[in-house]
Structure 1
């Protein structure tokens, strides 16, 4: 039994919206914030991948996720493939 909302002071301001806040545009705000977070994460990922330096390369045939985006590993594997062929 949920009951009715309890009375609360109307003069109180809160950055989170106060009691029972449900802004009408919360879905749009959430989508915009999600896009911003995704953009920042993608930029950080790209910067990290571009600056990644390897001193030891992954073993042949072993699963290694950065094998797909690290320029240094991709070039190393191309050179290795061209040298063995």
Structure 2
């Protein structure tokens, strides 16, 4: 291969001196954008049917609607239990 070739990607033997820093910066940018999109998606998520109480459902941990629904169900169950005991 020729030793001196210009290309946008850096030529045949590209190894920039600051590749580790560039990789870290790009990784942080990708992580940040992913976190913002994830947060926006979780805020806008809407469900017509809630998941069953004992079933594994990943979005149960970040979906505001499901968290509020399960909190209300728990309070309702505790109120019914308190009403039965008195």
TM-score range, shorter chain: 0.7 to 0.9
* TM-score, normalised via structure 1 length: 0.87
- 59, 65, 72: which is aligned to 2:58? 65
* TM-score, normalised via structure 2 length: 0.86
Structure of higher RCO (CA pairs closer than 8 Å, 6+ residues apart): 1
Counterpart in 1 of 2:12?
Answer: 19
1:54 aligns with 2:47: yes
Q: Distance in 2 between matches of 1:9 and 1:19?
A: 7
Shift of 1:60: 1.1
Shift of 1:34: 0.4
1:40 aligns with 2:18: no
Structure 2, unaligned runs of 5 or more = 79-86
After TM superposition, the runs of 4+ consecutive aligned structure 1 residues lying more than 2 A away are none
Structure 1, unaligned runs of 5 or more = 1-5
Question: Quick check: which one's helix share is greater?
Answer: 2
Shift of 1:9: 5.8
Aligned residues: 78
Aligned-residue Cα RMSD (Å) equals: 1.1
Conservation of the 8 A alpha-carbon contact between 2:3 and 2:12: no
